[in-house]
Amino acid sequence: MATTPAPHTTNRPPFGLQLPDYPWDAMAPYLARAARHPDGVVNLSIGTPVDPTPGLIQDALMAAADAHGYPTTHGTLALRQAIVDWFARRRNVPGLDPADVMPTVGSKELVAWLPLLLGLGAGDVVVRPTVAYPTYDMGAVLAGATAVPAERLDELDEETRSRVRLVWVNSPGNPTGMVRSVTELRDLVAQARELGAVVASDECYGELGWGPWDPENGGEPVPSVLDPRVSGGSTDGLLAVYSLSKQSNVAGYRAAFVAGDSAIIANLVNSRKHAGMIVPYPVQEAMRVALGDDAHVSTQKARYRARRERLIGALEAFGLTIHHSEAGLYLWCTAGEDTWSTVGRLAERGIVVGPGTFYGEAGQGFVRVALTGTDERVAAAVARLGAKP
């Protein structure tokens, strides 16, 4: 009599990284609730640009479309020079060597992979802001390191401090819009250098300062970690990360770059050559052109400035208090209640916002409202916030 073979069994763990669920999936019921509004959804939850990519950038991309050869991982010399010139002109960082900059496939991939590419692993500590973009934690997880929230390194106990290898700074911050002053950055850099840790500064909202940080209205530029007032004139142990997604409406291009410590950049270039992490040549050309034109950045910032001013008044009239939000694309707000209660009340008016709890325990009670709605949708939100439920 034939027998049926027993099913094969094994004790091996399942394939795939065992990462937590993507947090934005929890928004599905609130999106559905907001979608029932008769005038449609106003989605102010995610900071994706909604305005057109400037024509000169599109033209540069198309002009470089005959890209039959492989691009360089380090980036063309013309692009790297454009990045150096931009740092000198817009970020008060003169004298960078073009060898010490490199394009990246958006800034998120660099944030996620930097701990691994730096050689971090079990036992190493990655410090990130207390309220922060979740990818800083994910980068530590992918490398097998430990993420620890802190604003200053002297907040940590001695044992933890001894294991710090990477310190993430996010100024202007996402989601809080908080800007670190030259003094605050300089102190943090000094603390990290004492420990032999790398400071990586995520500065992708650096062109979007408001009030005292708005140069077009008499304010000061948001400082970079590579600013000589911060760095002491040395890039040792420092990396500045920047993205063109927000300033130039090219989120779909995945156009960003990193600059700083010569030895670290050289190692990153080498590692990325092995891994095939390369920005396509047409995107490199689009970046080069975008970085050389300040007019489109000013035009886009004016759009966000107007939307921001309208939303601030409407949100405050609705009973929300705005904290920080000195720069960037978001308003960090609280109604003094549970985060999800605020998310739900706004969804009833057809408005979707980002829950503060997605950005760490310190975000409880807050919501993040993005400025990335069209003028028409922002006007709709303003009207709904002033209407009776």
Secondary structure of residue 122 in the 3-state scheme: coil
| pLDDT of 59 strictly over 70 | yes
For residue 47, name the pLDDT band (cuts at 50, 70, 90). confident
pLDDT computed for residue 10 by the predictor = 58
pLDDT computed for residue 42 by the predictor = 95
Over range 360-365, report the average pLDDT.
91
Question: pLDDT tens digit string along 144-154?
Answer: 999 999 999 99
Over range 146-168, report the average pLDDT.
96
Considering only CA atoms, give the Rg of the chain: 22
CATH topology for the 23-52+296-386 domain: Aspartate Aminotransferase, domain 1 (3.90.1150)
| pLDDT of 21 strictly over 70 | no
| pLDDT of 389 strictly over 60 | no
For residue 46, name the pLDDT band (cuts at 50, 70, 90). confident
The residue written with tokens 């409406």 in the block is 249
Are 206 and 241 contacting, i.e. CB atoms less than 8 angstroms apart?
no
pLDDT computed for residue 127 by the predictor = 98
pLDDT computed for residue 360 by the predictor = 86
Six-digit token string for 127:
């410090």
Question: pLDDT tens digit string along 73-89?
Answer: 999 999 999 999 999 99
Q: What are the sequence ranges of the domains in the chain? A: 23-52+296-386, 55-292
CA distance 387 to 389: 6
Question: pLDDT tens digit string along 222-278?
Answer: 999 999 999 999 999 999 999 999 999 999 999 999 999 999 999 999 999 999 999
Question: pLDDT tens digit string along 318-328?
Answer: 999 999 999 99
pLDDT computed for residue 6 by the predictor = 58
Give the helix, strand, coil percentages of the chain, each rounded to 5. 45, 15, 40
pLDDT computed for residue 1 by the predictor = 53
DSSP string, 257-297: EEEE-HHHHHHHHHHHHHHT----HHHHHHHHHHHT--HHH
State phi, psi for 338 to the nearest 5 degrees. -60, 140
pLDDT computed for residue 41 by the predictor = 95
Six-digit token string for 296:
């489109």
Are 209 and 327 contacting, i.e. CB atoms less than 8 angstroms apart?
yes
Percentage of residues of the chain with pLDDT beyond 90: 89
CATH topology for the 55-292 domain: Aspartate Aminotransferase; domain 2 (3.40.640)
Q: Where are the alpha helices (DSSP H) in the chain?
A: 28-35, 55-63, 77-90, 106-117, 135-143, 158-161, 182-195, 228-231, 245-248, 262-275, 281-291, 295-317, 339-348, 375-386
pLDDT computed for residue 25 by the predictor = 76
| pLDDT of 18 strictly over 70 | no
For residue 26, name the pLDDT band (cuts at 50, 70, 90). confident
Over range 339-350, report the average pLDDT.
96
How much is the mean pLDDT over the chain? 93
